[in-house]
Amino acid sequence: MSKPLQQDFDALAPETFDSPYAVYADLRARCPVAHSDAWGGFWALMGYEDVRRVAGDSTGFITSVQNVVPKVAFTGRRPPLHLDPPEHTPYRAALNPLFNAARMASLEAPTRRIVVDLLEPLLAKGEGDICADFSSHLPIQVFAHWMNIADEQARVLSEVGRDYNIAVQANIDDIVKAASLQLYDMAKAVVEDRKAKPLDPATDATSALLAVRYQGQPLPEAMIIGTIRQVLVVGIIAPTVMIGSIAVHLSRDQALQARLRTEPALIPAAVEEFLRLYTPYRGFARTAVGDVEIGGRAIAAGEPIALVYASANRDETKFENADQFVLDRPNIGEHLAFGRGAHNCPGAPLARLQLRVALEELLARTEGFDLNGEIRPTRFPEIGVLSAPMVFTRSEAAR
Ligand code: HEM
């Protein structure tokens, strides 16, 4: 019988907004392929090269057993994340074109309107929680536009999605489950609507999935519903956390805040560096199909492996001064905030659009903003800000 593995780090240890990065730096230095006993035990790859290589190898490392640590899915297989290629391929082929440049350009004006409508009450009051009052609403409303969801459904989605969003990050299982089932019902309703009245598959995700013929057959309806439900969730949590982290960073670095305010052309590059520095999905999981050795550690087939994107993106051997914000790094394009390989994020263009527009409007409509209370951090599998009270000084132009 193999002897039990020693625990290299405790994934359940209490954290602050900053503390996980110090833990990961230590692990990268002394134990870059680390084991934790949390959630039944899992491996965590901390270094850039290991994470990149495993994310890029969907034959040797699959997502269909477990795509995240801790394993949260309890309602069946949801494409594309829970499927391995080639079963995964038709779902991505249907979804990818819906994030193309033309579609993103058409979403810019609605996104800006949503951002401004959400920001204005906060700025008028002069204070509020950047996550609870702003960033937890934004991605859901943008998503509703992208999905062409009717106003009434969008309103329900906004409420349920926000409950789900907060409950997942606060690990409140009962609410997660209840909200998850409601999200399934919503996904079903959208599929029913589109079956009755298809929209243009070039601009509508559900119609595109319904139009797919794979090996001559339509995709199973349960899997289409699962896809909508999956996209719904992966698409709303990360931007919420990420905007909180950006706002905290800019509160702590007022000089950078002022610079981006006077030079908004730098915002897209800043967003990219923030994605590296505050990678909101700490890690997704894979399972090795056979016994493997990574970094000198023996990992058995079937054991969950977290690819810790948030640690890989701060690996000094890849990014010089990795803990620092550096605008226009020469290799910024190689960060792993959106993953790598078959499961890389199809929604990256929509994520970048939201982050850019949110930051543009927040900076343009304020003379300054600052933290005004305690930061509450998120937990595995996210990393970043769950709640951050702030004060805002509205700019003259916005009054
Ligand atoms: C800051 C925002 C976002 C970040 C950092 C992010 C990051 C990621 C990452 C790291 C993955 C890879 C998962 C893996 O390795 O197993 C992923 C997958 C995915 N993301 Fe995003 N995401 C963001 C926003 C969005 C948005 C807005 C959407 C859609 C509206 C979206 C849709 C998806 C989907 C459908 C997948 C699954 C892809 C697959 O399994 O083939 N994401 N995302």
Q: What is the pLDDT at residue 76? A: 67
Between CA 137 and CA 135 the distance in angstroms is 5
Q: What is the pLDDT at residue 62? A: 96
Q: What is the pLDDT at residue 3? A: 55
- Ligand 1 centroid, distance to 115 Cα (angstroms): 21
Report the nearest-CA residue for atom 17 of ligand 1: 345
Convert the pLDDT of each residue in 253-302 to its tens digit.
999 999 999 999 999 999 999 999 999 999 999 999 999 999 999 999 99
Kind and range of the H or E run holding 126: none
Q: Which atom of ligand 1 is nearest to the CA of 83?
A: 40
Convert the pLDDT of each residue in 168-205 to its tens digit.
767 777 888 888 888 889 899 999 999 999 999 999 99
Q: Where are the beta strands (DSSP E) in 230-319?
A: 284-288, 292-294, 297-299, 304-307
Q: What is the pLDDT at residue 27? A: 98
Q: Residues 308, 51: contact at Cβ < 8 Å?
A: yes
- Ligand 1 centroid, distance to 303 Cα (angstroms): 23
- Ligand 1 centroid, distance to 204 Cα (angstroms): 18
Q: Which atom of ligand 1 is nearest to the CA of 280?
A: 5
Q: Residues 188, 225: contact at Cβ < 8 Å?
A: yes
Q: What is the pLDDT at residue 1? A: 40
Three-class HEC string of 142-205: HHHHHCCCCHHHHHHHHHHHHHHHHHHHCCCHHHHHHHHHHHHHHHHHHHHHHHHCCCCCCCCH
Q: What is the pLDDT at residue 229? A: 86
Between CA 166 and CA 244 the distance in angstroms is 13
Provide the token pair at 378. 């998120």
Between CA 226 and CA 246 the distance in angstroms is 31
**8-state DSSP, 293:** E
Mean pLDDT of the residues in the chain: 93
Report the nearest-CA residue for atom 39 of ligand 1: 343
Q: Look at the chain and count its residues.
A: 399
Q: What is the pLDDT at residue 177? A: 84
Spatial CA neighbour of 296 closest among 16, 50, 125, 79: 50
Orientation of helix 254-262 relative to helix 221-252, angle to 10°: 110
Residues touching ligand 1 (Cβ under 6 Å) are: 55, 63, 67, 80-81, 92, 143, 230-231, 234-235, 238-239, 242, 280-281, 284, 309, 337-339, 343-347, 350-351
Secondary structure (3-state) at 352: helix
Between CA 383 and CA 167 the distance in angstroms is 15
Kindly give the parts of the chain with pLDDT less than 50.
1
pTM for the full predicted model = 0.95
User: DSSP characters for 32-96?
Assistant: SEEEE-GGG-EEEE-SHHHHHHHHT-TTTEESSS-SSSS----S---TTTT--TTTTHHHHHHHG
Cis peptide preceding 264, ω within 30 of 0: no
Orientation of helix 138-146 relative to helix 221-252, angle to 10°: 140
Q: Which atom of ligand 1 is nearest to the CA of 92?
A: 41
Domain 19-398 part of CATH 1.20.1270.360? no
